[in-house]
């Protein structure tokens, strides 16, 4: 490959399948998502993009190409800064950096909040974002919260080799939540300007704060939708994505840039910003389809065909492998990588995905196996605030027959034959654990799993 493509990965926080116009939402949600809808017509749009039920696991899976149960990042870290990826993990940013890329991480990282675990410790040249996540902006509204006693949450920034520091003038507040995406945007535009001036391929990992609660739109969007604060925020999200697309056009590099637009997990369940799974049911922090499917569109003019819609399964780990291959890089061969190469599928060389199954973990428990359009549940939780239900027998759902997973049993067919495929996936995973141990949650930074043999 003579010229490596730039990569813009636009990650939306808590984006349900029913929010965007191109996925059946838009004006039904009170806001016309015209920029992303047009973008969806310019590339490949997936309806079966599978992520993890929470943001930390998904972000870990994207960065490493590995199920987060392997890296000890299968749940968000609660209480202090404990947890995150260990030094041994190799991220997509590290591999791209070795190939000559410059890289910037903007917004939420959420897979480590201490020295050795920052984005700039794992391949990124620069980072600006919150210490952990956005609901910490509400701490200041709690009458029982005492910052001097309970700790502060600041925005942070850092550069590779220079460490990461809190910006003491930027405590994460409701006002900061409202305006932080504008700061991300300005830094993103500057980063792209610098990369193009230096004639360097770039990787921009842009993590927008929406649609994470609390929903606070910038002043220019207030009252512009027909669905209050929530709709105003959807308009803002759509606008902000369009600004980055316009910059690619201005720099005349749109044809040289892979752009991915997707969510990190299903929709919000809090009433402060409740979203919808649309055609599916469920929310984030659940193993229902609405918790683990999000919109996904990928565009690369001249390489990825325009106007293609597919229900073929792609898992978030596949993006690690596929983006590396598009960049002319190879995934690591010295560890278990769960992501498969989807480049032949994305460029239209084949109609089928290179994946027909994946595992669905919720915290440390295996909730389901997905195989083609079947889902085999061993446990079930439909929404974040629902109780987790153990199932006496595995529940087999065909997701075209029952997309909202409502029926407790399938009464038309006896489908125990599907179990052989679920058992195969579990056996393969168990065999992989013999070759390389799982990294426990909260492992020290220098933990190294027993080697792949």
Residues 227 and 296 in one domain: yes
Mean pLDDT of 105-118: 97
Give the CA radius of gyration of the chain.
21
The pLDDT tens digits of the residues spanning 137-160 come to: 999 999 999 999 999 999 999 999
Residue 257: what pLDDT?
98
Long-range CB pairs of 35-38, under 8 A, 24+ apart, other chains included: 35/238, 35/239, 35/241, 35/242, 35/245, 36/238, 36/241, 36/242, 36/261, 36/297
CB 102 within 8 A of CB 202: yes
pLDDT at 74: 94
CATH number for the domain that contains residue 151:
3.40.720.10
Last residue of a domain, one of 318, 346, 374: 346
Q: What is the pLDDT of residues 279-299, one digit of tens each?
A: 999 999 999 999 999 999 999
How many percent of the chain have pLDDT more than 70? Answer: 97
Domain co-membership, 25 together with 130: yes
Mark out the alpha helices in 119-227 (DSSP H runs): 147-150, 174-197
Report yes or no on 452 lying in a domain: no
User: What's the pLDDT score for residue 80?
Assistant: 58
The stretch 179-198 carries a mean pLDDT of: 98
The answer to whether residue 445 sits within a structural domain is no
pTM metric for this prediction: 0.97
Per the structure block, which two tokens stand in for 386? 């629902």
Q: Taking residues 41-50, what's their average pLDDT?
A: 98
Region 97-111: what's the mean pLDDT? 98
Encoding tokens for residue 374?
A: 């079947």
448: in domain: no
Taking the CA of residue 186 as centre, how many other CA atoms within 13 Å lie in the half-sphere pointing to its CB? 6
Strand order in the sheet with 389-398: 357-362, 365-371, 374-380, 389-398
Looking at residue 410, what is its pLDDT?
57
In the chain, pLDDT over 90 holds for what percent of residues?
A: 91
CB 59, CB 66: distance < 8 Å: no
Domain of residue 60: give its range: 6-346
pLDDT tens digits, 407-429: 766 567 889 999 999 999 999 99
Give me the chain's average pLDDT, please: 95
User: Which residues does the annotation mark as catalytic?
Assistant: 55, 110
For residue 372, how far is the Cα from the chain centroid? 21
Query: Is a pLDDT exceeding 90 seen at residue 1?
Result: no
CATH number of the domain bearing residue 398: 3.30.1120
pLDDT of residue 384: 92
- 453 has a pLDDT exceeding 70: no
Does 383 share its domain with 322?
no
Domains in the chain: how many in total? 2
Same-domain status, 38 and 180: yes
What confidence score (pLDDT) does residue 389 get? 81
Among candidate residues 288, 322, 346, the one where a domain is terminated: 346
Indicate the pairing of strand 126-130 with strand 154-159: antiparallel
Give me the count of residues in the chain: 453
Residues 334 and 369 in one domain: no
Question: Confidence band (pLDDT; 50, 70, 90) for 452?
Answer: low
Residues 233 and 382 in one domain: no
Instruction: Give yes or no: residues 292 and 383 share one domain.
Output: no
Looking at 324, 346, 368, the residue that finishes a domain is: 346
Per-residue model confidence as pLDDT tens digits over 362-397 = 999 999 999 999 999 999 999 998 888 888 789 999
């Amino acid at each position: 490959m003579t010229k490596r493509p730039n990569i813009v990965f636009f990650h939306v926080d808590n984006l349900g399948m029913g929010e965007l116009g191109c996925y059946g939402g838009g004006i039904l949600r009170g806001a016309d998502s015209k920029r992303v809808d047009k973008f969806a017509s310019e590339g490949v749009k997936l309806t079966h993009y599978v992520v993890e039920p929470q943001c930390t696991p998904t972000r870990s899976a994207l960065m490493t190409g590995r199920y987060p149960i392997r890296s000890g990042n299968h749940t968000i870290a609660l209480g202090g800064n404990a947890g995150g990826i260990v030094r041994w993990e190799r991220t997509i940013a590290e591999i791209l950096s070795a190939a000559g890329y410059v890289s910037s991480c903007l917004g939420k990282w959420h897979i480590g909040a201490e020295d050795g675990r920052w984005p700039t410790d794992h391949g990124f040249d620069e980072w600006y974002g919150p210490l952990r996540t956005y609901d910490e902006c509400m701490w200041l509204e709690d009458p029982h919260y005492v910052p001097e006693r309970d700790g502060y949450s600041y925005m942070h920034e850092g550069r590779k080799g220079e460490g990461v520091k809190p910006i003491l003038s930027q405590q994460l507040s409701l006002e900061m939540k409202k305006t932080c995406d504008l700061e991300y945007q300005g830094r993103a535009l500057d980063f792209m300007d610098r990369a193009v001036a230096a004639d360097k391929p770039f990787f921009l990992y842009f993590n927008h704060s929406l649609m994470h609660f609390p929903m606070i739109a910038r002043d220019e969007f207030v009252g512009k939708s027909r669905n209050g604060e929530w709709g105003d925020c959807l308009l803002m999200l759509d606008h902000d994505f369009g600004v980055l697309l316009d910059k690619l056009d201005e720099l005349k590099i749109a044809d040289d840039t892979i752009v991915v637009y997707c969510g990190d997990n299903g929709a919000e369940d809090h009433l402060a910003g409740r979203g919808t799974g649309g055609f599916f049911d469920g929310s984030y922090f659940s193993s229902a389809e609405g918790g683990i499917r999000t919109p996904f569109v990928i565009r690369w003019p001249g390489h990825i065909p325009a106007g293609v819609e597919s229900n073929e399964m792609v898992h978030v780990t596949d993006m690690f492998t596929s983006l590396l291959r598009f960049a002319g890089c190879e995934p690591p061969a010295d560890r278990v990588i769960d992501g498969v190469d989807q480049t032949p599928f994305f460029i239209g060389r084949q109609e089928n995905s290179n994946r027909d199954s994946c595992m669905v973990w919720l915290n440390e428990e295996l909730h389901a196996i997905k195989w083609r359009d079947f889902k085999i549940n061993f446990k079930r939780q439909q929404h974040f605030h629902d109780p987790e239900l153990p199932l006496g027998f595995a529940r087999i759902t065909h997701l075209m027959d029952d997309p909202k997973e409502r029926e407790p049993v399938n009464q038309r067919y006896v489908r125990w034959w599907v179990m052989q495929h679920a058992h195969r996936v579990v056996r393969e995973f168990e065999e992989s654990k013999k070759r390389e141990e799982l990294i426990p949650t909260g492992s020290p930074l220098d933990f190294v799993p027993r080697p792949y043999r």
